[in-house]
Amino acid sequence: MEAASRFSNWAFDLQYILGRTPWDTQVTPPEVVALVEERDVPPGRALDLGCGTGTNCIYLARHGWQVVGVDFSTVAIWQARCKARRAGVECTFRGADVTDLSFLEEAFDFVLDIGCLHSIPMERWRPYAAEVIRLARPGGRYMLYAFAPSGPLGSARYFARGSARSV
């Protein structure tokens, strides 16, 4: 693992230890709720990329989904496992880089990314996209939340309309 990645993992782990994770709202987005509760999408297999402390994994599991959550922060994964156990649901959590999910083989009906892709160095977007394509079942759903061009962080990388399709 390159030094920058080790620092990044360590930095995220520290933020989870300190409880300074403004990106981890503990709230499942209304679009996910609508998909699960209003659109008659039957439960299946779900993959949460950059799952953090497992909020969305737990929500999906409570609604009958078989869920795998992946995050590169080992602290977030540990917190997610504890949280799922307290919630009384079964989820699989793996500490891993979302650009290399070779340990996963079965297809998923729903792939969710809330704030993960825009945190990945641009040179790793193609491997990320290849994994999403490989793991999403034909006809499955992929939901991506990422910074938009009008986002509040001037130094962040943003996606132009349609750019995720071209990755």
Report, as an integer, the average pLDDT of 60-84.
97
Contact by Cβ (8 Å): 65, 88: no
- Per the structure block, which two tokens stand in for 119? 């945190």
Report, as an integer, the average pLDDT of 4-13.
65
Q: What is the pLDDT of residue 24?
A: 86
pLDDT at residue 143 greater than cutoff 50: yes
- What SS3 class is residue 95? strand
pLDDT at residue 1 greater than cutoff 50: no
Best-predicted range by mean pLDDT (10-24, 105-119, 142-156): 105-119
Please report, for residues 114, 138, 147, the alpha-carbon distance to residue 81 in angstroms, rounded to integers and kept in the order given: 19, 29, 28
Report, as an integer, the average pLDDT of 109-125.
91
Q: How far apart are CA 57 and CA 93, in angstroms?
A: 9
φ, ψ for residue 84, nearest 5 deg:
-65, -40
Q: What is the pLDDT of residue 59?
A: 98
User: What is the per-residue DSSP string for 102-118?
Assistant: TT--S-EEEEEEES-GG
Q: How far apart are CA 133 and CA 136, in angstroms?
A: 5
Global confidence as pTM: 0.84
> 3-166, superfamily in CATH?
Vaccinia Virus protein VP39 (3.40.50.150)
The pLDDT confidence band at residue 165, using thresholds 50, 70 and 90, is: low
The pLDDT confidence band at residue 65, using thresholds 50, 70 and 90, is: very high
Q: What is the pLDDT of residue 38?
A: 84
Handedness of CA 11, 15, 17, 21 (dihedral sign): negative
- Listed by start position, the domains of the chain span 3-166
Q: What is the pLDDT of residue 147?
A: 67
pLDDT at residue 157 greater than cutoff 60: no
The pLDDT confidence band at residue 146, using thresholds 50, 70 and 90, is: confident
The predicted-structure confidence for 75-111, as pLDDT tens digits, reads as follows 999 999 999 999 999 999 999 999 999 999 999 999 9
